[in-house]
Structure 1
Amino acid sequence: MPTQELILVKQGKAAKIYVDPKGKDYAGLRRVAQSFAADVKQVTEVEPEIHAQLKALDGTVIIAGSIGSNELIDRLIAKGTVDVSAIQGKRECYKIQVVEEPTAGVDKALVIVGSDKRGTMYGIYSISEKIGVSPWKYWADVIPEKKADLILPDSQLHRISKEPSVKYRGIFLNDDWPSLGSWVTQRFGDFNEDFYDKVFELILRLKGNYLWPAMWSAEFSLNGKSNPIANAQHAQEYGIIMGTSHHEPLFRAGSEWQKVYNQYGTSNLWDFARNKQAITDFWEDGIKRNQDFDNLITLGMRGESDSALEGSDQENIDLLKDIILTQKELLKKYNLEHSPQILAVYKEVEKYWYGTAEVEGLKDWEVLNDVSILLADDNYGNLRKIPTEHERDRSAGWGMYYHFDYHGGPHSYEWLNTIPLEKVWEQMCMAFDYGIRDVWIVNVGDLKPMELPISYFMELAYDFEAWGTGAINRTEEYTKRWVEQQFGYALEHETCLGIAQLLSEYTRMNGRRKPEIIYPSTFSPIHYNEAQRVLKQAIKMENAADQHHALIPESLKDAYYQLVYFPAAASANVLKMQIYARLNELYTGRGSILANTYATLTHEAIDRDKHLEQVYNSGITEGKWQGMMSSPHVGYVHWNAEGWKYPEVSTLIPAKGSILIVDVEGTEQAYVAGTAKLPVFTNLQKENYCITISNGGEAGFEYQARSNVAWIKLEKTSGWIKAGESLHVSVDWEKVRETSTGEITISGAGGTVKVSVAVNFTDIQDVPAMTFIETHNTVSIEAEHTSSRVAQSGVEWKTIANYGRSLSSVKMFPDTVSFEQPENAPYLEYQVLVQQNADYSLTAYIAPTNNLSQFSGLKYAVGFDAQTPVITDALPTDFAGGNHDNEPWCRAVIDNIHTVTTSHALTKGIHTLRFYGLDAGLVLQKLVLSAAELPYSYLGPEESFYTRGAH
């Protein structure tokens, strides 16, 4: 009976690898086989031999090839030994099977057969993953577990892969300076085949197939080292389908034109209307050069260096028609008219596609029926437009150009990952659900440090069935699996869970506000204790990064630094830096010596920022990543990094004598001892409060604190306290009903201050469960905390966990259905107890979704009790997603939120709030009901108290 395992390596001997030299995919498969052999060697120190002759094989072997391109595999198929009916005729599928005695002299073979070349390559790299090699082995220095032997169990030896969900799945290397460009030129000399081989391998390991190469100074088809066209030749061998970016038509890199225009004429104008023949000849040479390679051919034209065309809408549409007809004639001339083509509907080209009220667009132009249409997000991870129902079945299909990195207005973000996986899931699931299934391309900037979101994006595109709309709230599971893939063999399960949580938390923090545009003024140090709460989160992340680092074995510390420690710690540090600067400003204004403490902390954070970058660039992996972490990332004042600066702080010269200053959490002022009686703590909700003591003179002072209120307890009651230390005040709820007012006295050398305390007690004995209680004129509700949810027409509200700026979000699914009127729409219900008869404002916090079609907005309706619902739109009438001259859109993507307010007259007591979803794509995160104007804060009020059960 055959053994139920397969030995790849044992006692220093490795199974040989066979690829057929007569196969049309031989060159690429040999490259991948060599890569796989290097994986085996990294694990075992034994490198398998690669053979192209059957007579050289013996014992146990690996046979890899695609149907029709490997003579031995084809014989096994013909004999019925290998059944390929499940993959034949499909795209990029593979089957793995063990075959006994497949040919003379061979005892057993692990057969990896692909439906095509890429299918075979995916199958080979799937074995790499089974033996513990991460796709990020080169790009993040992930060292696999060392093993003397490699023996695969039967459970891993028989597999049939699925057909990828999205046809073209790839990445775009954009913004290649200063970081990626610096690293590439130092390590490889140029953007040549030595560099791109590493990129091609990564794409294949991630089961991708498509690449837009670096383009600002690099020229993919000219930068080869062995010969100018070597990059394209290697891409062809690896099976990577090449494209060019949205403004680089017909195989030509954007930077080529100005270098070679004089070969085609005397004018360097990149203007088809005025320099048509020269540009046409330039394109024709691109076709001649690259016609033999697999490409997704970019059509159309934009202005030079990613700029807009200059004419009127009608002139530009007419010009684009002329351009596209010229390009198609060129393709026909070289028998490429049936090759896959794509038109990017990006930025202003979107208007030319849809047209305007006055001008007919390109969308109904029959010339484009065989061209894939690449839609785009707004450069900030929010889709701009989606196909209408009758457009979704166009034969050439639809694509989506998405962004993890962006260089442009209103502010560039190019440093670290700022797009949480939950946002990628929500937006790209919507793209897929609306029929965008042919091309997914994502701008990854410098590639590093976007390792996690790149992995997720590619997996979502490859296996949408497992991770897409039908698998809501699996991003946490994905992150855990990803961490285990990189570090799992060396760490306890709980440590992997902690690292996964850290990755999620830092990305969510960056998604709340991008590091480049966090300023000292972003988070309020006064209202809702916001800055202090955010600061606490950042410090917690730093501590977690350090704690996990201590558990990482030496062999994985470099990988951990790149994938986890640096992005988490550096993000948290920038946040701390800006909040410390704001606290310095606050205490400077109050004349408190604490200003100096926060000045010091700000400078320490600035120094740490520089140190973390230095370690990344020269202190890990023997300096391998020199220059990779060079992007400015603090205090942007323009759309780009020009004028960026670290925050500035002030220091105070202490006055003589001891002046006691009392700063009470949540108040707008500080109080000098002996000068004020301070009313605080009205409408208590929390159990703990903080009173900070500082001075303008000596380092410390003696103080006393006493209270005649039974329910106030102080953590300290005697001794000396240093400037900046705090009294922690807590509430004894058992005694809270005994009294409603009282006084705390704090004394020092500078005098005495009396702090009055009060509470408004609300009896909740008869209040229903899930009822939110108004305090401080406000009711703040996290969207998922509904009292009920009602579906309509098969559409229901679902919670997307960990998505948004605070707790979570809710969204209607299926996400392709809209409603005209509230009475037909699904709705959410919330119970609120308001304390007064008043006119209330209801502010809805909604994810920064754009209007997804020409005619839709982002409408919803709200109503209380039996009142007629109020219909409103989260988008103003002049909203233009992706237009950096449009203030409403700029504000939405900078703050990562839409906030919309409606007015409602309410009477004191309990009310039922209904929130109706009307337009598809709307994502609700939070609701705030207020009887007074809300003070400034970035995140809004913390969630109000609500009853958990019957009372």
Structure 2
Amino acid sequence: MKNVMIAKLGKAAAIYIDPKGKDYKGLKLVANSFVEDINMVTGVTPKVVNVIEELKETIVIAGSIGNNDLIDSLILKGILDVSSIKDKRECYKIQVVEKPIEGIEKAVVIVGSEKRGTIYGIYRVSELIGVSPWVYFGDVVPVKKSELVFSEEDLNITSKEPSVKYRGFFLNDEWPSLGSWVTNTFGDFNEEFYDKVFQLILRLKGNFMWPAMWSAVFSENGKSYPLANAELADTYGIVMGTSHHEPMFRAGEEWKQIHHKYGENEAWDFSSNADAITKFWEDGLKRNKKLESLITIGMRGEQDSALKGSEEENIELLKNIIRTQKRLLIEQGLNNVPKVLTIYKEVEKYWYGTDKAEGLRTWNELDDVTIMLADDNFASVRTLPTEKERNRKAGWGMYYHFDYHGGPRSYEWVNTTPLEKVWEQMSMAYDYGVRDIWIVNIGDLKPMEFPVSYFLDLAYDFETWGINGRNKTKEYTKKWALQQFGNAVKEDLIDGIESVLTDYTKMSGSRKPEVTYASTYSCINYNEAKRVLEKVIDIEGKAQKYYEQIPEVYKDAYYQLVYYPSVASANVIKMQICAGLNNLYYRRKSILANNYALLVEECKEKDIDMQKYYNESMSAGKWKGMMSSPHIGYKEWSPDGWTYPEIYSVIPEKRSIMIVDIQGTEEAYNEGIAELPVFTNLGKESYFITISNGGSTEFDYKVETSSDFIKVNSMHGSISTGKDIIVSIDWDKVSKSLDGFITISGSGKIVKVKIIVEVIDITDLPNRTFIETHDVVSIEAEHTANNIAKSNVEWKVLENYGRTLSSMKMFPTTVSFEKPEQAPYLEYLLRVNNDEEYTLTTYVAPTNNLYENSRLKYAVAFDDESPIIADTLPKDFITGSYDNDIWCDGVLENIHITTTKHRLSKGMHRLKFYGLDAGVVLQKLVLSKGKLKDSFLGPEESLYYKE
């Protein structure tokens, strides 16, 4: 295979672009950034040439079909076959051509079906030489190389057509973080800033964006002249829009600033100020009409609020508004320009209509408008097209969120949306025909680098990462880590970085740091707080280990892309758990409370220090102000009034006082009789007892066991603050159910702890039989005994999705069932200990109903009983309503929980779980006697027999 030299021995191939091409200005900008990429890698800066006579030796030729005479001549001669990309959207072909013109030995030809295709091709070569899309916004330093030599096989590439037509992101909620950094660095949201953003979008194979809008006016904030931002976007080939509530090229801030030009009435109210607002819109169209754009139509109230009238009045008002807007578009020659109406929040009501007013959904004047649907602001889609609606000519879009400023609580800090969630929800949206626009609210841009990459890759190549992407998020995460650090570190370190990214996003996805409190994880039940604390400490430890191992030149990139989002969010959760333990031991008058108070203070200092390092020291102070968002202890929907957790101190008495805390109990003891949970022979579990001091004088403790089958890790010692005693069973000495005691003495007190051992006979148990212990049977959804498909619909595992292990979902995602007997089902085997009424608690992902009046139903049945139909959404569930506690709890706790009652006899049972409505995602099932103990995650999975 022949090799191609792009740079070698202090020389680099020039890049030729045709100055006569309509795309010349945009390609010149990208060519200039491409030669900077080569310089970063090799130290050599190639020339950007637009005169053929200046070319010599090996060259790079870049241009689109019909806009580069040299490329067109190669096509005409049959040397370059472009049939695979011609007339397609945003495609490119890279081909090595021998002797393309006289005097040139070899050329790397990058030809695009149009401008954006060519640009993607140029940046594909940048990736091949080791330059990450996050070279600027993530400070990812490419590995230095003395030469860039590739085989022709490596360079001969033909791209696919992007899966989704418009793919991009929305810079939003940009104060205090992004706004502070931008003004510190560029002075304003001007073309110098957006030049960096546009390059990032193109490197990520996006083509669309909504600009920052809290304080900025995109089309007026140019530094060199007012329209510089908008014209630069057009030159680059970025299709610009304005947010879901900013119609007709007009930013929300513009009306505030210039409404006086249109009259004395300053109200943003079409019903009372139509003439002024119409003129305002008309001027916006005149200003931007020559630029490639996707025009927002419709209207919301002041400051992104709801319109003021009744639903019927607002429907008619919106129709009047849209008619006016479409008339203006026709007058300005923009009738055929793509238009979008976003069905967001209360606009969904106007879309569906009421009994008294026909909604926008059936209004034929929207036939040429793309309808952009939305999630619920917490990454679960709100509504999807029905089968009849999916093929509408103007198509569908989705407005998604990685960041949100609003109720029930804002989240505007680090990434809290696991890739598994993005895949599950956006793949379902794609299945339902949402394929024209994907845009995601990414807040301050940083530190959302990781999910932004995934979202745009999913939109660009849905075949790989969507259709064939189930359970590929781990693979994608490793690929992303390789893109940032792979040329500099060994594979085992990449595997480690992948595990940190995966673990922290699962942790923060289960409960966002902003709404994790001292009371979130139970310090008493199921050993929950300490289990979560162990995971948090593991994340911190791994992230620190890899930070120390990564070469110095890559530490800044690692810190902002991996270390900060993982460790800073882990530190918040650690802080809150320590505060919970502080509160617990304070109530029990143990001086362990003071130890945990010190740990909380350490976490506070770490939070402050990490934020300061990010803002002032990282990357030589480049990101001043970027990490400024409040992110702890939210008291209301906004960050206002946020606070670090409250901690308490115990003043020790001037003597020693023994306090014994038994795992899983609601009270502490300093004398008397207590009891540990039952030990069983299947799980081989152990339990801990905490001995602590309530006084200032150290005391000696002693532990005695009544039988030799009881094992204790520490039989005696001294206590100044506290110590954990681990109790377990020597199963070689146990052949039948029995009981015993351990006796703990110290400080003149004695506590006797009863030990109960249950030996469970598993001789006749089928494989994967779950066994009741501690009054519960807890089952992770993927651990089925049988998985039965029906009507070509089957349950499949979604690995690592959800709050605990994984999830199960029905595929294809578009099919629902009226009756349980028609539906696919999951089977679970279990054994219960009593003849009794049990409660089955079902944990499913916080998905919303997919249509206006649809539900998320399932059915359950034990053995031969008739299935009981249940709905994960109660009748009074209202998606997206801050006044609806059920929805609010679902998004904050990232779960829907429902219960059913079942009368069971002692012994073996077969549980069937039927999926009725598309969209149900099962995560966990818990069968219990009575009400479950309070906890966030529920009981750990029960013991189950497996061969």
Post-superposition CA distance 1:568-593 (Å, at most 9, x none)? 10011000110111111110110101
CA shift at 1:760, angstroms? 2.6
Partner of 2:235: 237
Which one-letter code corresponds to 1:868 in the other structure?
S
Question: Quick check: 2:663–2:676 contact (8 Å CA) kept in 1?
Answer: no
Structure 1 Cα separation of the partners of residues 697 and 500 of structure 2: 37
Please say which of residues 310-319 and 152-161 is displaced more in the overlay. 152-161
Structure 1 Cα separation of the partners of residues 326 and 803 of structure 2: 47
Structure 1 Cα separation of the partners of residues 469 and 171 of structure 2: 29
Structure 2 Cα separation of the partners of residues 749 and 659 of structure 1: 6
Structure 1 Cα separation of the partners of residues 672 and 741 of structure 2: 13
CA shift at 1:328, angstroms? 0.5
The alignment status of 1:481 with 2:479, answered yes or no, reads yes
Alignment of 1:573-584 (within 5 A): 573-584=571-582
CA shift at 1:253, angstroms? 0.3
Structure 1 Cα separation of the partners of residues 839 and 750 of structure 2: 41
CA shift at 1:652, angstroms? 1.2
Partner of 1:687: 685
Partner of 2:134: 136
Partner of 2:21: 23
Which one-letter code corresponds to 1:894 in the other structure?
L
User: Residue 73 of structure 1 aligns to a residue in which SS?
Assistant: helix
Question: Quick check: 2:99–2:106 contact (8 Å CA) kept in 1?
Answer: yes
Which one-letter code corresponds to 2:59 in the other structure?
V
Partner of 1:520: 518
CA shift at 1:155, angstroms? 2.1
Alignment of 1:372-411 (within 5 A): 372-411=370-409
Partner of 2:767: 769
The alignment status of 1:697 with 2:669, answered yes or no, reads no
Structure 2 Cα separation of the partners of residues 195 and 782 of structure 1: 48
CA shift at 1:386, angstroms? 0.3
Partner of 2:791: 793
Structure 1 Cα separation of the partners of residues 707 and 481 of structure 2: 51
User: Residue 444 of structure 1 aligns to a residue in which SS?
Assistant: strand
Post-superposition CA distance 1:247-276 (Å, at most 9, x none)? 000000001001111111111000001000
Question: Quick check: 1:691–1:728 contact (8 Å CA) kept in 2?
Answer: yes
Question: Quick check: 1:18–1:63 contact (8 Å CA) kept in 2?
Answer: yes
CA shift at 1:751, angstroms? 2.3
CA shift at 1:711, angstroms? 2.1
Question: Quick check: 1:801–1:808 contact (8 Å CA) kept in 2?
Answer: yes
Partner of 1:928: 926
CA shift at 1:298, angstroms? 0.3
Question: Quick check: 1:842–1:904 contact (8 Å CA) kept in 2?
Answer: yes
User: Residue 206 of structure 2 aligns to a residue in which SS?
Assistant: coil
Structure 1 Cα separation of the partners of residues 134 and 734 of structure 2: 58
The alignment status of 1:260 with 2:263, answered yes or no, reads no
Question: Quick check: 2:672–2:750 contact (8 Å CA) kept in 1?
Answer: no
Partner of 1:219: 217
Structure 1 Cα separation of the partners of residues 309 and 592 of structure 2: 58
The alignment status of 1:677 with 2:696, answered yes or no, reads no
Match of 1:588 among 586, 589, 599: 586
Partner of 1:604: 602
Which one-letter code corresponds to 2:380 in the other structure?
N
Which one-letter code corresponds to 1:678 in the other structure?
A
The alignment status of 1:866 with 2:864, answered yes or no, reads yes
The alignment status of 1:571 with 2:569, answered yes or no, reads yes
Structure 1 Cα separation of the partners of residues 212 and 704 of structure 2: 67
Post-superposition CA distance 1:908-937 (Å, at most 9, x none)? 010000000000000000000011211110
User: Residue 275 of structure 1 aligns to a residue in which SS?
Assistant: helix
Structure 1 Cα separation of the partners of residues 797 and 686 of structure 2: 30
Partner of 1:275: 273
Q: Which runs of 5+ in 2 are unaligned?
A: none
Which one-letter code corresponds to 1:552 in the other structure?
I
Partner of 2:438: 440
Structure 1 Cα separation of the partners of residues 367 and 736 of structure 2: 78
User: Residue 784 of structure 1 aligns to a residue in which SS?
Assistant: coil
Post-superposition CA distance 1:732-790 (Å, at most 9, x none)? 22223256111111222332222221123221111111110001211000000000000
Partner of 2:5: 7
Which one-letter code corresponds to 1:855 in the other structure?
N
The alignment status of 1:32 with 2:4, answered yes or no, reads no
User: Residue 860 of structure 2 aligns to a residue in which SS?
Assistant: strand
User: Residue 20 of structure 1 aligns to a residue in which SS?
Assistant: coil
Which one-letter code corresponds to 1:784 in the other structure?
E
Question: Quick check: 1:183–1:626 contact (8 Å CA) kept in 2?
Answer: yes
For residues 738 and 906 of structure 1, do their structure 2 counterparts lie closer, same or farther at Cα, with a shift above 3 Å needed? closer
Partner of 1:415: 413
Structure 2 Cα separation of the partners of residues 914 and 28 of structure 1: 60
Which one-letter code corresponds to 1:917 in the other structure?
G
Post-superposition CA distance 1:787-818 (Å, at most 9, x none)? 00000000000000000000000000000000
CA shift at 1:705, angstroms? 1.3
Post-superposition CA distance 1:570-618 (Å, at most 9, x none)? 0110001101111111101101010100111111111111011011101
Partner of 1:290: 288
Alignment of 1:446-461 (within 5 A): 446-461=444-459
Match of 1:709 among 707, 710, 716: 707
Structure 1 Cα separation of the partners of residues 440 and 729 of structure 2: 51
Structure 2 Cα separation of the partners of residues 700 and 33 of structure 1: 73
CA shift at 1:366, angstroms? 1.0
User: Residue 727 of structure 2 aligns to a residue in which SS?
Assistant: strand
Partner of 1:427: 425
Q: TM-score, normalization: structure 2? A: 0.99
Partner of 2:312: 314
Partner of 1:358: 356
Q: How many residues align?
A: 945
Which one-letter code corresponds to 1:206 in the other structure?
L
Question: Quick check: 1:617–1:627 contact (8 Å CA) kept in 2?
Answer: yes
Structure 1 Cα separation of the partners of residues 442 and 913 of structure 2: 37
Structure 1 Cα separation of the partners of residues 718 and 409 of structure 2: 48
Partner of 2:748: 750
User: Residue 861 of structure 2 aligns to a residue in which SS?
Assistant: strand
User: Residue 730 of structure 1 aligns to a residue in which SS?
Assistant: strand
Please, what is the CA RMSD of the aligned residues? Answer: 1.0
Which one-letter code corresponds to 1:92 in the other structure?
E
Which one-letter code corresponds to 1:805 in the other structure?
R
CA shift at 1:721, angstroms? 4.1
User: Residue 68 of structure 1 aligns to a residue in which SS?
Assistant: coil
Which one-letter code corresponds to 2:473 in the other structure?
T
CA shift at 1:665, angstroms? 1.6
Post-superposition CA distance 1:138-195 (Å, at most 9, x none)? 0010001100111012221211100000000000000010000000000000000000
Question: Quick check: 1:400–1:436 contact (8 Å CA) kept in 2?
Answer: yes
Question: Quick check: 1:658–1:750 contact (8 Å CA) kept in 2?
Answer: no
Structure 2 Cα separation of the partners of residues 699 and 829 of structure 1: 57
Partner of 2:147: 149
CA shift at 1:720, angstroms? 2.8
Match of 1:94 among 69, 92, 95: 92
Structure 2 Cα separation of the partners of residues 407 and 718 of structure 1: 54
CA shift at 1:211, angstroms? 0.5
Which one-letter code corresponds to 2:717 in the other structure?
G
Q: TM-score, normalization: structure 1? A: 0.99
Question: Quick check: 2:13–2:46 contact (8 Å CA) kept in 1?
Answer: yes
Alignment of 1:172-251 (within 5 A): 172-251=170-249
Structure 1 Cα separation of the partners of residues 881 and 321 of structure 2: 25
Post-superposition CA distance 1:876-905 (Å, at most 9, x none)? 112111121211111110110000000110
Structure 2 Cα separation of the partners of residues 747 and 680 of structure 1: 17
CA shift at 1:429, angstroms? 0.2
Question: Quick check: 1:683–1:776 contact (8 Å CA) kept in 2?
Answer: no
Question: Quick check: 1:64–1:113 contact (8 Å CA) kept in 2?
Answer: yes
User: Residue 447 of structure 1 aligns to a residue in which SS?
Assistant: coil
Structure 2 Cα separation of the partners of residues 739 and 931 of structure 1: 22
CA shift at 1:729, angstroms? 1.6
CA shift at 1:677, angstroms? 1.3
Partner of 2:643: 645
The alignment status of 1:534 with 2:532, answered yes or no, reads yes
Structure 1 Cα separation of the partners of residues 126 and 464 of structure 2: 22
Structure 2 Cα separation of the partners of residues 679 and 331 of structure 1: 77
Which one-letter code corresponds to 1:656 in the other structure?
K
Post-superposition CA distance 1:109-144 (Å, at most 9, x none)? 000000000000000000000000000000010001
Which one-letter code corresponds to 1:913 in the other structure?
L
The alignment status of 1:466 with 2:464, answered yes or no, reads yes
Which one-letter code corresponds to 2:912 in the other structure?
R
